[in-house]
Structure 1
Amino acid sequence: MQLKEIHEGAAALRIYAPKGAVSKSLPVFYNPIMRLNRDIGVLILSCLDKKGMQIADIMAGSGVRAVRLALELPAGRAGLIVANDASPDAVRFIEANLRLN
């Protein structure tokens, strides 16, 4: 399966490019259909008048949500962002995508 680089929000990401429909069978999950959901999440957390939030992105797949929050939230809004996944491959992708940004 081929890797490709995409851009979503302020983030650059490397993901697997599926030959057909996106499915849970991908080695590392990324769902482009949920982009609007992630856009709204960033917007809502940006609007909260709260500093130092602790954010967990569990079953993070490619890490797109955590990377976007780290890049797009106003300074000081997030005190800690944790991303993890049960898949060792996904954890490697999360780390690589964080380094890419």
Structure 2
Amino acid sequence: MTDSITCPECDVRRGMQLGRLFLACRFCQGRGWVGAEHEPGPPPERPPAWEHAVWSDPAVASAMPCRYSMGTQSVAHVDEESRSLAIMACPGCVPT
């Protein structure tokens, strides 16, 4: 942990005012400072969609039979390096 310092993103403004709407700084969560017990860190890694907790609900699981394609029977992959999109049959929906 470090000592508290002025937020480098908002510089103690705590966010941005847009008319009557106030948007809190995402770096310091609207405190105006960072450090001590509020040390910023990397955001927690989110699980893939097919491992989401909603699948434990029987109603959701019965409405969408495949967790990968969400019932569409096809999956897409974006290759950012080659800037291409590939769509193929879902491996989870293919009959065995």
TM-score band, normalised by shorter chain? under 0.3
Higher helix share: 1
- Structure 1 or 2, whichever has the larger Rg, is 2
Q: State the TM-score, normalized to the length of structure 1.
A: 0.21
Q: State the TM-score, normalized to the length of structure 2.
A: 0.22
